[in-house]
């Protein structure tokens, strides 16, 4: 009996070790690919005509769509920051998604809004009724759409799409802080490549960084461990992971916090799905499906330059809910587009990306926690020997630390947005600490998300206490928006 | 299950890799800090001298020895200065760069393998803009590296010489091509001097070259571009070229284009062309288009929206139509668009003359 137990235990543990090895090696390959691309871009950056788009008479105008639900604290500054972005021609559409606070009143007072009967053609479906549309009496290119909330960010975005006039749509969260040149950088791929349909921007954590009047002055590594670890996570997964996927032509997620899309393509796929939990990934998957089915030539880009900064959760509860929702959203996307998985008709998206997300992103936390449990129990019962346990931890955590350190090194070699030595030290430490406790908790939140996804449960939003930025600290506790925070 | 020695090897290897990584990161941070300080020192030293050369128009301002990093900083600063100054100040700076052998050095660097160095040299030569550098820059249009090709296209545009336009139009159709947007920006820099070459570009074999020529003639073409653009709008076999010709005719704003634009709004024409032609009719603002626009305001969204704005730009007759429609039942075709246009116009008269870019 004992022999059988040892054989089963040993077989499973070797499977987990192999799984980690494959997962981490795939990630290493992505990171190395991304690093080559990033360093190449970084060295050439002074000579690739960054300022060109601003002077470009053919630069495509952009409609910036900003959904807002109970954002009275930030909304006026956010709208002003968007209106102040460097771009030759843009309009900012704020969709007040059934706010119950003074979001609209603040806007009305700040911009002297007047109700105007704008035509909002039913180009994409919306569930919540549009109550009214407003323009400022001044000359700011601002449109405010007031609509009934149905508890869906996607529905608010669809209302914004209906009100938009310009060929490019920029979807941005109301609490995101954009670099002044963000739109210029994001529009560049569309100017250069006529087949470009979507571009995602790099998202970074802004906690404890210095922000003045809606602009990032100095990036800092947060003081608390939870956001600090997320900085490293964002570097590894969002900056390098997505740069690598984009280089392979396999981008599946364009963050809802900041992404630019071609309006005609978004309309063609029917806009956002109001029922989708991960509406950003759902839209991108739908675009892939349509264009691949029709065998149309297209491309999607990822702009690695750090252009969008967002406050990440500082407490376990909020972070747990956020990560649970992300997992639930991923489950829903994989379920909705299951017909594309392993389907050669959908090329690399069907044969590489979706299987990767299924086998490693979705099932990864299950395998990891089971493996950890199995090794611990096996060690306690004497079913496995100590060297094997060490090997397991080396592969699972040592490799993980290596990937994080490579990410930090690449950031240091390229954008170098954290100038202080102290920040580098904290980031290096966070990459190690991440593996003790945080990673296991994270797996647990993700497993709960998968479970909720399988049971088709509505995600829980709760309340997010925003801490604010240094030195513009905003002490107010603010309800977490009904619209999901971005990935 | 796992032997002690292989495990030790794996552990040590991982540790060594992590240590190397940490050392490389710290080393990079150190060298960057030192390098940035050095660069700042050279910049502080050279910038006032270059400013003196351009402001005093004096090529005899004494400069220190230009070697190594200082020479690179000089090149970057000179490239930035040349982008900003014109006339005698510019000539003085070019004279200094030439006499110091910087122009020849940059030309030599075009043949070296390092892409970044070549890109810096291309940017510098583009700003200097001498005709002697042109063949070398044109050779780079055949480079394997797309960014090097794009840099060469930019530099050729910066020379301001209209003779490069045919070369730039050809490069879009070449096997190793350069994106439309990059070529467009490069030719835009040449300005109205390129109008003759762009008119010839309307007859190019490549539809992209014809599209770009049409689009840019709308910006710099002048009255002599009207007839070629009208022919292009009516006769070109590519819808994209016709759309851009319609947009260009709208920008030029001549009433002579109205019949061709009206013809392009017919129902059997491609939908994007109809929308752009409708908008162009508004930009021309000729009252003879009012009847056509009145019909178009009942059309699909994009055409209808543009038609409403166009009617507003067509004088009193157009506004009368809008007011009649605005007072009609909400389900009357065009009525919501008329109401929106008049409400926007009441808010800001200038808005109505800036039609949507969609």
Strand-pairing partners, residue A63, are: A91, A169
Q: What percent of chain A has pLDDT over 90?
A: 53
CB-CB neighbours of B105 under 10 Å: 15
- Contact list in B for residue A399 (CB cut-off 8 A) is 14
The answer to whether A19 and A374 have CB atoms below 8 angstroms apart is no
**pLDDT on residue B358:** 38
Whether the CB of B76 is below 8 Å from some CB of chain A: the reply is yes
Residues of chain B with Cβ-Cβ distance to A412 below 8 Å are 25, 28-29
**Nearest Cβ partner for B219 among A57, A137, A412:** A57
Over pLDDT 90: what percentage of chain B?
52
Q: What is the pLDDT of residues A50-66, one digit of tens each?
A: 777 777 778 899 999 99
pLDDT at B343 over 80: yes
pLDDT, position B4: 62
- Is B157's pLDDT higher than 60? yes
Work out the average pLDDT over B118-129: 89
- Model pTM greater than 0.80? yes
Q: Which alpha helices (H) appear in chain B, and where do they start and end?
A: 4-56, 68-84, 87-99, 102-109, 115-128, 134-139, 146-158, 165-173, 180-190, 195-201, 207-220, 226-235, 239-252, 258-264, 271-284, 290-296, 301-313, 315-327, 335-347
Give dist(CA A138, CA A433) in Å, integer.
52
Distance CA(B38)–CA(B45), nearest Å, equals 11
> Angle B115-128/B68-84 helices, nearest 10 degrees?
40
The per-residue pLDDT for A459 is 65
Can you tell me the mean pLDDT for B87-98?
87
In A163-246, where do the E strands start and end? 168-172, 177-178, 196-205, 210-212, 215-218
State the helix-helix crossing angle for B68-84 and B87-99, rounded to 10 degrees. 160
Comparing A78 with B277, which gets the higher pLDDT?
B277
Closest CA to A443 of A320, A329, A359: A320
Nearest CB among A48, A165, A384 relative to B147 is that of A48
Are the beta carbons of A166 and B356 separated by less than 8 Å? yes
Mean pLDDT calculated for residue range B75-92 = 87
Beta bridge partners, A177, equal A309
CA distance A282 to A152: 14
Which pLDDT value is given to residue A474?
42
Average pLDDT value for residue range A303-326: 89
Q: A5 CB near a chain B CB, below 8 Å?
A: no
A394 versus A312: the higher-pLDDT residue is A312
Please tell me the distance from the alpha carbon of residue A397 to that of residue A437, in angstroms, as a whole number.
12
Q: What percent of chain B has pLDDT over 70?
A: 96
The per-residue pLDDT for A486 is 36
Query: What confidence tens digit (pLDDT) does each residue in B19-35 have?
Result: 999 999 999 999 999 99
Residue-level pLDDT at A441? 94
State how far the alpha carbon of A371 is from the alpha carbons of A2, A389, A395, A431, B6, in Å.
19, 11, 12, 21, 21
* Burial class of residue B225, CB neighbours in 10 A (0-12, 13-18, 19+): buried
Contact (CB<8Å) B150/A55? no
- What pLDDT was estimated at residue A487? 34
A392 pLDDT more than 90: no
Is the predicted pLDDT of residue B238 greater than 80, yes or no?
Answer: yes
How many other CB atoms are found less than 10 A from the CB of residue A42?
16
A341: number of Cβ within 10 Å: 17
Contact B240, B211 (CB under 8 A): yes
Among A478-487, B178-187, B244-253, B281-290, where is mean pLDDT lowest?
Answer: A478-487
Residue holding tokens 């039913």? A122
Distance CA A82, CA A172 (A): 9
The alpha carbon of residue A366 and the mean position of all alpha carbons in its chain are separated, in whole angstroms, by 22
CB B306 within 8 A of CB B275: yes
Among A246-250, A256-260, A306-310, B14-18, name the one with the lowest average pLDDT. A306-310
Cis peptide before A471 (omega within 30 of 0): yes
- The HSE-up count of residue B71 (CA atoms within 13 Å, CB side) is 14
Decide if pLDDT at A211 tops 90.
no
The percent helix, strand, coil of chain A (3-state, each to 5) is 55, 15, 30
**Is pLDDT of A429 > 90?**
yes
pLDDT, mean of residues A431-446: 92
Average pLDDT over residues B73-101: 87
Is B97 touching A (CB cutoff 8 A)?
Answer: no
Task: Please tell me the number of Cα atoms within 13 Å of B323 on its side-chain side.
Answer: 7
To the nearest 10 degrees (0 to 180), the angle between helices A386-393 and A364-380 is 160
Per-residue pLDDT at A301? 93
Residue B290's contacts (CB-CB under 8 Å, 6 or more residues apart) are B311, B314, B317, B318, B321
Question: Confidence band (pLDDT; 50, 70, 90) for A464?
Answer: low
Cβ separation A167–B358 shorter than 8 A: yes
Cβ–Cβ contact A161 with B under 8 A: no
Q: Does A386 touch chain B (CB under 8 A)?
A: no
Nearest to A448 by CA among A268, A324, A304: A324
> What is the distance between the alpha carbons of residues A272 and A262, in angstroms, rounded to a whole number?
13
For A134, the closest chain B residue by CA position comes to: B344
Asked whether the beta carbons of B176 and B149 are under 8 A apart, the reply is: yes
The residue among A286, A265, A264, A288 whose CA lies nearest residue A275 is A286
Does residue B153 surpass a pLDDT of 80? yes
Maximum C-alpha span of chain B? 93
**Record: contact A193-B179, CB cut-off 8 A:** yes
- Burial class (CB within 10 angstroms; exposed 0-12, middle 13-18, buried 19+) of A100: exposed
- Of the candidates B2, B182, B344, the beta carbon closest to that of A388 is on B2
Burial B123-154 (b: 16+ CB within 10 A, else e): bbbbbbbeeebbebbbebbebeeebbbbbbbb
Q: Does A235 touch chain B (CB under 8 A)?
A: no
- Mean of all residue pLDDT scores within chain A: 87
Q: Which of A220-224, A426-430, B171-175, B224-228 has the lowest mean pLDDT?
A: B171-175
Residue B134 is predicted with a pLDDT of 87
Average model confidence (pLDDT) across chain B:
88
- Tell me whether residues B17 and A402 touch, CB distance under 8 A: yes
Residue B239 pLDDT class (50, 70, 90 cuts): very high
Residue in B29, B151, B179 closest to A412 by CB: B29
Measured between alpha carbons, how far is residue A327 from residues A323, A358, A415 in Å?
A: 6, 11, 30
pLDDT of residue A124: 94
Average pLDDT over residues A291-315: 90
Confidence band of B324 (pLDDT split at 50, 70, 90): very high
Nearest CB partner across the interface for A47, out of B21, B151, B337? B151
Q: How far is A119 from chain B (nearest CA, A)?
A: 6
Q: How far apart are CA B273 and CA A230, in angstroms?
A: 49
Residue B13 at interface with chain A, using a CB cutoff of 8 Å: no
B1·A384 Cβ contact <8 A:
yes
pLDDT band at A463 (very low <50, low <70, confident <90, very high): low
Determine the average pLDDT of the residues in A263-285. Answer: 93
Which stretch of A264-268, B70-74, B150-154 has the lowest confidence by average pLDDT?
A: B70-74
- Nearest residue of A to residue B18 by CA position? A402
- The yes-or-no verdict on residue A191 having pLDDT over 90 is no
| Contact with chain B for residue A48, Cβ under 8 A | yes
Q: Which of residues 281-310 of B touch A (CB under 8 A)?
A: 301, 305
Nearest residue in A to B191, CA atom: A57
Give the HSE-up count for residue A375: Cα atoms under 13 Å, Cβ half-sphere: 22
Chain B partners within 8 Å of A89 (Cβ): 357
Residues 6+ apart with CB under 8 A from A191: A52, A53, A56, A58, A59, A60, B179, B181, B182
Checking ipTM against 0.90, whether it exceeds it is no
What does the block give as tokens for B53?
């050369």
**pLDDT score for A465:** 56
Q: Which token pair is A85?
A: 């972005």
- A59 → chain B, closest CA residue: B181
Q: Are A450 and A362 in contact (CB under 8 A)?
A: yes
- The candidate with the shortest Cα–Cα distance to A203, out of A178, A229, A186, is A178
Is pLDDT at B307 greater than 60 in this prediction?
yes
pLDDT at B357: 39
Instruction: Tell me the mean pLDDT in the region B149-167.
Output: 91
Q: CB–CB of A44 and B115 under 8 A?
A: yes
Compute the average pLDDT of residues B136-142. Answer: 90
For A85-137, what is each residue's pLDDT tens digit? 999 899 999 999 999 999 999 999 999 999 999 999 999 999 999 999 999 98
Contact A116 B25 (CB under 8 A): no
Residue B253 has pLDDT above 50, yes or no: yes
Among B residues 218-237, those touching chain A with beta carbons less than 8 Å apart: 219
Q: Is the pLDDT of residue A475 over 50?
A: no
Give the rounded distance of the alpha carbon of A219 from its chain centre: 19
Is the CB of B203 inside 8 Å of chain A's CB atoms? no
pLDDT confidence band for A485 (50 / 70 / 90): very low
Tell me whether residue A373 is exposed, middle or buried, using C-beta atoms within 10 angstroms of its C-beta: 0 to 12, 13 to 18, 19 or more. exposed
């Amino acid at each position: 009996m004992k022999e059988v137990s040892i054989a089963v235990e040993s077989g499973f543990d070797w499977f987990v070790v192999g799984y980690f090895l494959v997962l981490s090696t795939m990630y290493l390959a992505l990171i190395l690919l991304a690093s080559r691309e990033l360093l190449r871009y970084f060295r050439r950056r002074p000579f690739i005509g960054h300022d060109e788009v601003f002077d470009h008479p053919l630069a495509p105008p952009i409609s910036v769509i900003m959904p807002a639900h109970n954002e009275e604290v930030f909304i006026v500054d956010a709208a002003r920051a968007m209106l102040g972005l460097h771009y030759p021609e843009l309009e900012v559409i704020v969709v007040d998604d059934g706010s119950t606070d003074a979001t609209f009143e603040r806007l009305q007072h700040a911009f002297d809004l007047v109700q105007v009967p704008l035509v909002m053609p039913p180009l994409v479906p919306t569930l919540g009724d549009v109550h009214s549309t407003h323009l400022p009496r001044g000359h700011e290119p601002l449109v405010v759409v007031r609509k009934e909330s149905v508890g869906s960010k996607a529905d608010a975005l669809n209302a914004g799409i209906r009100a938009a006039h310009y060929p490019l749509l920029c979807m941005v969260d109301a609490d995101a802080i954009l670099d002044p040149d963000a739109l210029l950088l994001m529009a560049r791929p569309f100017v250069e490549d006529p087949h470009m349909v979507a571009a995602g921007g790099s998202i970074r954590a802004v906690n404890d960084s210095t922000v003045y009047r809606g602009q990032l002055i100095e990036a800092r590594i947060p003081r608390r461990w939870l956001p600090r670890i997320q900085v490293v996570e964002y570097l590894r997964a969002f900056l390098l992971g997505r740069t690598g996927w984009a280089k392979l032509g396999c981008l599946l997620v364009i963050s809802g916090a900041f992404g630019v899309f071609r309006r005609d393509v978004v309309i063609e796929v029917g806009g956002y799905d109001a029922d989708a939990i991960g509406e950003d990934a759902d839209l991108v998957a739908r675009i892939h499906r349509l264009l691949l089915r029709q065998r149309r030539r297209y491309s999607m880009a990822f702009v690695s330059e750090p252009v969008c900064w967002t406050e990440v959760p500082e407490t376990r509860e909020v972070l747990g809910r956020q990560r649970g929702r992300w997992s639930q959203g991923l489950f829903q996307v994989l379920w909705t587009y299951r017909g594309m998985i392993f389907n050669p008709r959908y090329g690399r998206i069907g044969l590489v990306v979706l299987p990767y997300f299924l086998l490693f992103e979705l099932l990864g936390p299950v395998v990891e926690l089971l493996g950890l449990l199995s090794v611990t129990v096996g060690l306690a019962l004497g079913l496995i020997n100590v060297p094997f346990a060490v090997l397991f931890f080396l592969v699972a955590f040592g490799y993980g630390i290596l990937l994080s350190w490579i990410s930090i090194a690449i950031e240091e070699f390229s954008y170098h947005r954290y100038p202080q030595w102290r920040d580098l030290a904290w980031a290096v430490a966070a990459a190690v600490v991440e593996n003790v406790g945080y990673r296991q908790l994270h797996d647990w939140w993700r497993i709960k998300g998968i479970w909720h996804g399988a049971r088709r449960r509505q995600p829980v939003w709760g309340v997010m206490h925003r801490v604010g930025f240094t030195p513009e600290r905003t002490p107010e506790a603010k309800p977490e928006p009904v619209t999901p925070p971005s990935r | 299950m796992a032997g002690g020695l292989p495990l030790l090897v794996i552990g040590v290897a991982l540790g060594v890799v992590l240590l190397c990584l940490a050392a490389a990161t710290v080393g990079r941070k150190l060298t960057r800090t030192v390098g940035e300080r050095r660069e700042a020192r050279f910049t502080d030293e050279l910038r006032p001298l270059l400013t003196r050369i351009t402001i005093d128009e004096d090529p005899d301002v004494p400069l220190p020895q230009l070697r190594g990093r200082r020479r690179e900083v000089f090149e970057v600063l000179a490239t930035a200065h040349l982008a900003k100054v014109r006339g005698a100040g510019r000539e003085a700076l070019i004279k200094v760069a030439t006499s110091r052998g910087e122009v020849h050095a940059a030309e030599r660097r075009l043949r070296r393998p390092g892409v970044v160095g070549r890109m810096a040299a291309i940017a510098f030569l583009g700003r200097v803009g001498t005709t002697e550098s042109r063949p070398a820059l044109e050779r780079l249009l055949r480079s394997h590296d797309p960014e090097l090709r794009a840099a060469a296209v930019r530099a050729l545009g910066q020379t301001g010489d209209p003779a490069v336009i045919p070369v730039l139009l050809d490069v879009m159709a070449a096997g190793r091509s350069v994106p439309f947007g990059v070529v467009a920006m490069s030719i835009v820099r040449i300005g109205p001097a390129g109008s003759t070459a762009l008119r010839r570009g309307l007859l190019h074999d490549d539809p992209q070259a014809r599209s770009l020529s049409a689009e840019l003639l709308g910006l710099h073409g002048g009255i002599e571009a009207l007839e070629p653009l009208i022919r292009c709008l009516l006769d070109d076999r590519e819808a994209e070229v016709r759309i851009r010709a319609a947009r260009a005719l709208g920008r030029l704003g001549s009433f002579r284009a109205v019949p061709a634009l009206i013809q392009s709004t017919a129902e059997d024409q491609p939908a994007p062309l109809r929308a752009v032609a409708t908008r162009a009719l508004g930009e021309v603002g000729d009252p003879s288009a009012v009847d056509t626009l009145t019909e178009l305001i009942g059309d699909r969204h994009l055409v209808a929206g543009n038609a409403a704005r166009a009617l507003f730009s067509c004088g009193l007759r157009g506004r009368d139509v809008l007011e009649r429609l605005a007072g009609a039942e909400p389900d009357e075709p065009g009525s919501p668009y008329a109401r929106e246009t008049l409400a926007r116009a009441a808010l800001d008269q200038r808005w109505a003359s800036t039609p949507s870019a969609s």
